[in-house]
Structure 1
C-alpha cells in the first residue's frame, strides 16, 4: 500500500502532462488558472460591472473542468495520498526560518505560522491575503496570463512573451523571499 502514496515518477507525470498539452494545442485550447477564474467571475455576473468579464462564458465551459479537477485533485492529494514525513531541508534554511519564529520546520509542507486559521484571520494574515491577491490579480492581467498558463502552455508553444513572463515570475519570487519576506516576518 505504501507504493501508492509515493509521488509519481517523472517518467509517468511528464509524459502525461505532454499528452494533455498536445491535446489542448491540437484543439486550439490553452491551459491556465487565470482564464478559469475569469470564467467563474463571468458566470457570477462580473460582466455587468467590468467589460473584461463581459464575454460568452459558455464557449469557455471546458475551462471549468480544470478548476473542478484542481479542487478534487487537491482534496485527494491532501486527504488520501499525503504521507506524514520529515522534509530534509538545508540547515541554513532551517536556521533562517527559526530566526523568523517558525517552529517544527520541515515537519509539514504547510507551516502553521502561515496556514493555520489563527494566522490567516489575523490582521497581518488578512492584509497579506488582500494585498497579495490584488498583486496576483493585477500581475496576471498585466502579463496576459498566470504562472501555469505561461510556464506550461506558453513555453510549450515557444512563445517569447511567456519566457519573459516566467523569468519575471522567478525574479519576483527571489525578490519576495530575500527582501520582502524578512520584512514581513522579521
Structure 2
C-alpha cells in the first residue's frame, strides 16, 4: 500500500500553533530562534568578552529544546514524512522567470542546485553571499530585537506593536530583495 503524504492542513496546524503560543505566554515564555544563539554563545563563554552575552543562560536552557526540536523535526520531516517528488507543479510564468535567471530544470527538485549545491556554495559568489547575508541577518536580528520567528509568532500573538513594525519590515525587505537585488546578483 502506497501512502501519499501531504502537509498538515491549516485547520490542524493553526490551532496547534495557537495552543503552543498560549502555553508559552501563560508561563511567561517567548519563542524565537535568535535567543537560542545568544544562549549558546553565553554557554560557550562569550560573556567574558562581550557584555551582550553576559546573562543567566541557565534560565534559558528550556529554550534550547526549540533548537533540538527544529533539528529533530527537520530530520523527521525529510526522512519520514517527505513525499519524494520528481515534479513540482509551478505556473508557466514562474518557470519562465526562473529560466530567465539561469535556473535549469525548474520544478524538478525542491531546491535549485544552482543555489544549494556544494559547487554553488563554495564559489566566490556563494561565499560572499553567505558572509554578507549572515552579517545582515545578524545585524537585523540584533537591531530589531529578535528574529522573524520571534517577532512574527510570539510578538504578534502578544499584540506587540514593535513586532508588527518588524514583520512589516521583514516583508518589505523580502520584496525588495527578490524584485530589486536578486536579479542583479543572479
Equivalent positions of 1:158-173 (< 5 A) are 158-173=159-174
Moved more, 61-70 or 44-53: 44-53
Determine if contact 1:84/1:108 at 8 Å carries over to the other structure.
no
**Separation of aligned partners in 2, 1:21 and 1:57:** 22
Moved segments of 4+, more than 4 Å: none
Question: What CA deviation, in whole Å up to 9, does each residue of 1:37-58 have, x standing for no partner?
Answer: 1111111221122111111110
Question: What CA deviation, in whole Å up to 9, does each residue of 1:143-164 have, x standing for no partner?
Answer: 0110000000011011111111
Please give the TM-score of this superposition, normalised by the length of structure 1.
Answer: 0.95
DSSP-derived class of the 1:2 partner? coil
Which residue of 1 is the match for residue 54 of structure 2? 54
Equivalent positions of 1:93-104 (< 5 A) are 93-104=94-105
Structure 1: 5+ residue stretches without partners: none
Question: What CA deviation, in whole Å up to 9, does each residue of 1:66-105 have, x standing for no partner?
Answer: 0000001111111221112322222222111111111111
**Separation of aligned partners in 2, 1:45 and 1:183:** 40
Which residue of 2 is the match for residue 45 of structure 1? 45
Please give the TM-score of this superposition, normalised by the length of structure 2.
Answer: 0.95
**Separation of aligned partners in 1, 2:47 and 2:91:** 48
Q: CA deviation at 1:107?
A: 1.8
Which residue of 2 is the match for residue 114 of structure 1? 115
Which residue of 1 is the match for residue 70 of structure 2? 70
Moved more, 76-85 or 123-132: 76-85
